């Protein structure tokens, strides 16, 4: 059974970036469904951290601003890294 979820553009970009990094390391494609499954299992293992401090850290705010700027500038080069030989 599958469920469709809506995510913001920035969240989609983050998922794509993580998916690309995992693909590079494993040298095999990881589907978005597999990625979300992995991430939820990790989140459950770190439940205490997840339920703790919910405020973004300073460097997380910078990363979000940088990713947002890349999306506006068209500077996301994930595909270039993934499909580069």
For 57-85, the pLDDT digits (tens) are 666 556 666 666 655 555 556 555 555 54
- pLDDT band of 10, cuts 50, 70, 90: very high
Give me 27's structure tokens.
């040298």
Shortest CA distance to 71 belongs to which of 4, 13, 2, 5?
A: 13
d(CA 21, CA 25): 6
Tell me the pTM. 0.56
Average pLDDT for the chain: 79
């Amino acid at each position: 059974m599958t469920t469709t979820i809506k995510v913001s553009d920035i969240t989609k970009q983050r998922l794509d970036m993580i998916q690309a990094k995992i693909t590079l390391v494993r040298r095999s494609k990881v589907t978005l469904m597999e990625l979300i499954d992995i991430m939820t299992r990790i989140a459950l293992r770190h439940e205490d951290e997840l339920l703790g401090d919910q405020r973004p850290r300073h460097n997380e705010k910078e990363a979000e601003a940088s990713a947002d700027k890349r999306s506006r500038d068209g500077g996301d080069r994930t595909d270039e890294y993934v499909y580069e030989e």
